[in-house]
């Protein structure tokens, strides 16, 4: 089955931060899991390079918007690589192929009768590049996001007849209760639609940095419409000489932050309907990672800067932490201190130590070969249905709950070692079969959880699976007892080594 997952494209007026890393990591978990399941996956991320915020920031820096785009797109690409992210393409809205396709789709929307000339007057936030309705404004006519006082702006531009799509959108929501998740965001989008839709600007007259409107080159396509279309245009040119649209459209999941819900859950499906293009299967919204007031951490200071964390602790630790700490879909606090606690207690102790103990015991008691045995029925029962439940969790994009499902089995294996005390069994030859069972169950349990954890922590799980002598990642084998003993174990080293505090910055 084709599976197409996207992140929002990131504005190049700023540098990448933890929020960008969060969405990209989440999308990568989905993509990697679906590949393990044998699906035909396409994973897209990229940068949004047009519009007023970019033009303004470039002006402030005394460079062209193109130069700003070039400079910051590289930073987003580098961050993705540093976080072990496996996107299949990186789109930039300044790509000429994207711009040509935007013009084509906008022309189609125009030709279908959904565009008219008008005058817009309203409160406008230059930082959002968006007009605000009076209901959205905060006291003193302030932008609810940027808190700056907004002025009334007026300009002649081209309008998209969003109001005409109120009924089709209500119908879409009625037919597809999973179109927007989680449920509270579905309700929020639907009540916005039911509240009555006003037409929106399709173009800007004053700004020159964008895709020219094909029938009126004095205007450029409004940056949001240009940006939303990236999900569709990318497929037409991501592969040289091949159009992937038929194969992957409509998108399976658009992953977004809650601040851009209206654009993705209301305007985007309406635009697609206007262009007679199928709407995506699902829009999934995650919450914010909030940086609270906390004690300074020894190695990270008091912020979580994704490049720095990945450099000091490795990408897997950051990937794990952000999805473990805050329930995916909700807002929650993160801190450098909290990161270090989870790194030590969960990654190094619960997972890393379990792995090194198991390998060391197989080495010492069985000459490095995992014995063949049956896992005990009680423990096997606790692993029953795990892979199905992980698949279901990923289908619902419930990443934190899925990670927790897997982690409970790691804790279970730790209890099992403590209960069985294999180092005692090893002293008594009469307990040889029992010891075989314990060693086999630990190696097999570690193998299963590592296969399932692989999308979350790709590098560490690959190292561990290689040390277990079982590198196969397919989910068919992610069942306790699916693989027999006989593998020769190898060296692992420390999966999550202790990180020494850095010298204070001079």
Please choose, out of 22-30, 124-132, 381-389, 488-496, the segment that lies near Zn ion by the rule CB under 5 A: 124-132
Taking the least distance from each CB to Zn ion, the nearer of 125 and 255 is 125
Please choose, out of 76-84, 87-95, 122-130, 481-489, the segment that lies near Zn ion by the rule CB under 5 A: 122-130
Is residue 128 involved in binding Zn ion (CB under 5 A)?
Answer: yes
DSSP secondary structure string for all residues of 302-344: TS--HHHHHHHH-HHHHHHHHHHHS-TTS-EEE-HHHHHHHII
Least distance from C-beta 53 to Zn ion, angstroms?
A: 9
For residue 485, CA distances in Å to 18, 437, 440, 442, 454 come to: 42, 10, 7, 11, 21
Least distance from C-beta 441 to Zn ion, angstroms?
A: 56
Distance CA 45, CA 151 (A): 33
Taking the least distance from each CB to Zn ion, the nearer of 54 and 251 is 54
Q: Label residue 337 left, alpha or beta by phi (over 0 means left) and psi (-120 to 50 means alpha).
A: alpha
Is residue 146 involved in binding Zn ion (CB under 5 A)?
Answer: yes
Tell me the longest C-alpha to C-alpha distance in the chain.
89
Is 143 among the catalytic positions?
Answer: yes
Identify the active-site residue in 50, 128, 282, 454: 128
Least distance from C-beta 126 to Zn ion, angstroms?
A: 8
Is residue 145 involved in binding Zn ion (CB under 5 A)?
Answer: yes
Least distance from C-beta 56 to Zn ion, angstroms?
A: 12
DSSP E strands, 100-177: 115-125, 130-132, 151-160
Residue 384: CA count within 13 A, CB half-sphere: 8
Distance CA 222, CA 44 (A): 22
Please choose, out of 19-27, 144-152, 199-207, 446-454, the segment that lies near Zn ion by the rule CB under 5 A: 144-152
Taking the least distance from each CB to Zn ion, the nearer of 135 and 377 is 135
Site string for Zn ion, 466-505 (x = CB under 5 A): ----------------------------------------
Least distance from C-beta 123 to Zn ion, angstroms?
A: 10
Distance CA 92, CA 96 (A): 9
Distance CA 10, CA 211 (A): 18
Is 114 among the catalytic positions?
Answer: no
Identify the active-site residue in 258, 262, 298, 308: 298
Is 298 among the catalytic positions?
Answer: yes
Q: Kindly tell me which residue out of 9, 83, 143, 309 binds Zn ion, with binding defined by CB under 5 A.
A: 143
Least distance from C-beta 136 to Zn ion, angstroms?
A: 10
Is residue 262 involved in binding Zn ion (CB under 5 A)?
Answer: no
* Under 8 Å between Cβ of 220 and 208: yes
Is residue 127 involved in binding Zn ion (CB under 5 A)?
Answer: yes
Least distance from C-beta 62 to Zn ion, angstroms?
A: 24
Is 391 among the catalytic positions?
Answer: no
CA-based R_g, the chain, Å? 26
- Going by C-alpha positions, the residue among 386, 21, 420, 52 that lies closest to residue 226 is 52
Q: Kindly tell me which residue out of 68, 115, 125, 272 binds Zn ion, with binding defined by CB under 5 A.
A: 125
Taking the least distance from each CB to Zn ion, the nearer of 143 and 317 is 143
Site string for Zn ion, 428-447 (x = CB under 5 A): --------------------
Identify the active-site residue in 20, 114, 132, 254: 20
Is 132 among the catalytic positions?
Answer: no
Distance CA 6, CA 28 (A): 9
Taking the least distance from each CB to Zn ion, the nearer of 110 and 204 is 204
CB environment 91-110: b (16+ within 10 A), e (fewer) = bbbbbeebbebbbebbeebb
Is 101 among the catalytic positions?
Answer: no
Taking the least distance from each CB to Zn ion, the nearer of 125 and 323 is 125
Size of residue set near Zn ion by CB under 5 A: 6
Taking the least distance from each CB to Zn ion, the nearer of 137 and 392 is 137
Distance CA 25, CA 267 (A): 26
Is residue 137 involved in binding Zn ion (CB under 5 A)?
Answer: no
Is 17 among the catalytic positions?
Answer: yes
Distance CA 259, CA 279 (A): 20
Please choose, out of 117-125, 151-159, 201-209, 221-229, the segment that lies near Zn ion by the rule CB under 5 A: 117-125
Is residue 308 involved in binding Zn ion (CB under 5 A)?
Answer: no
Taking the least distance from each CB to Zn ion, the nearer of 128 and 452 is 128
**Phi and psi at residue 425, to the nearest 5°:** -55, -35
Least distance from C-beta 381 to Zn ion, angstroms?
A: 54
Least distance from C-beta 148 to Zn ion, angstroms?
A: 7
Taking the least distance from each CB to Zn ion, the nearer of 131 and 416 is 131
The enclosing H or E element of 10 equals: strand 2-11
Beta-carbon contacts of residue 200 (< 8 Å; ≥ 6 apart)? 131, 159, 160, 162, 222, 267
Is 294 among the catalytic positions?
Answer: no
Taking the least distance from each CB to Zn ion, the nearer of 58 and 125 is 125
Residue 49: CA count within 13 A, CB half-sphere: 24
Is residue 150 involved in binding Zn ion (CB under 5 A)?
Answer: no
* Under 8 Å between Cβ of 403 and 454: no
Identify the active-site residue in 114, 125, 254, 454: 125
For residue 405, CA distances in Å to 343, 399, 447 come to: 18, 10, 15
Strands 40-48 and 2-11: parallel
Which active-site residues does the annotation give? 17, 20, 125, 128, 143, 146, 295, 298
Which residues form the interface with Zn ion (CB under 5 A)? Answer: 125, 127-128, 143, 145-146
């Amino acid at each position: 089955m084709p599976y197409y997952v996207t992140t929002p494209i990131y504005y190049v007026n700023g540098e990448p931060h933890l929020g960008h890393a969060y969405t990209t990591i989440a999308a990568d978990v989905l993509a990697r899991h679906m590949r393990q399941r044998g699906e035909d996956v396409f994973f897209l991320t990229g940068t949004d390079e047009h519009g007023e915020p970019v033009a303004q920031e470039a002006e402030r820096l005394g460079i062209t918007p193109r130069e700003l785009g070039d400079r910051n797109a590289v930073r987003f690409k580098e961050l993705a690589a540093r976080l072990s992210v496996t996107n299949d393409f990186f789109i930039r809205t300044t790509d000429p192929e994207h711009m040509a396709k935007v013009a084509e789709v906008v022309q189609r929307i125009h030709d279908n009768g959904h565009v008219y000339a008008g005058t817009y007057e309203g409160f406008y936030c230059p930082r959002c590049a968006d007009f605000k309705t009076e209901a959205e404004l905060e006291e003193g006519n302030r932008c609810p996001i940027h808190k700056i006082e907004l002025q009334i702006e007026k300009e002649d531009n081209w309008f998209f007849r969003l109001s005409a799509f109120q009924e089709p959108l209500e119908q879409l929501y009625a037919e597809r209760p999973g179109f927007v998740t989680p449920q509270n965001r579905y309700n929020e989008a639907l009540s916005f639609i039911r509240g009555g839709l006003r037409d929106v600007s399709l173009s800007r007259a004053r700004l020159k940095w964008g895709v020219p409107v094909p029938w009126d080159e004095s205007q450029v396509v409004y940056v949001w419409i240009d940006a939303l279309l990236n999900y569709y245009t990318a497929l037409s040119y991501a592969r040289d000489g091949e159009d992937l649209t038929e194969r992957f459209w409509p998108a399976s999941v658009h992953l977004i932050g809650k601040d851009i819900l209206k654009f993705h859950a209301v305007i985007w499906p309406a635009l697609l309907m206007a262009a007679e293009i199928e709407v995506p299967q699902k829009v999934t919204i995650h919450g914010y990672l909030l940086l609270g007031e906390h004690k300074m951490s020894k190695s990270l200071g008091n912020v979580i800067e994704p490049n720095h964390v990945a450099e000091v602790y490795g990408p897997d630790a950051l990937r794990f932490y952000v999805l473990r700490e805050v329930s995916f879909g909700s807002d929650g606090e993160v801190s450098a201190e909290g990161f270090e606690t989870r790194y030590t207690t969960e990654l190094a102790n619960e997972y890393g130590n379990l792995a090194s103990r198991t390998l060391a015991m197989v080495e010492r008691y069985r000459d490095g070969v995992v014995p063949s045995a049956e896992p005990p029925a009680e423990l096997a029962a606790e692993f029953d249905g795990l892979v199905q439940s992980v698949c279901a969790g990923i289908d619902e994009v419930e990443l934190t709950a899925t990670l927790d499902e897997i982690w409970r089995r790691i804790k279970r294996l730790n209890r099992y070692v403590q209960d069985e005390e294999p180092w005692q069994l090893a002293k008594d030859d009469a307990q040889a079969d029992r010891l075989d069972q314990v060693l086999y169950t630990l190696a097999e349990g570690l193998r299963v959880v590592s296969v399932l954890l692989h999308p979350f922590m790709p590098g560490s799980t690959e190292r561990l699976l290689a040390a277990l002598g079982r590198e196969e990642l397919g989910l068919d084998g992610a069942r306790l007892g699916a693989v027999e003993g006989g593998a020769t174990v190898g060296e692992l080293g420390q999966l999550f080594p202790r990180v020494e505090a850095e010298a204070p910055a001079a």
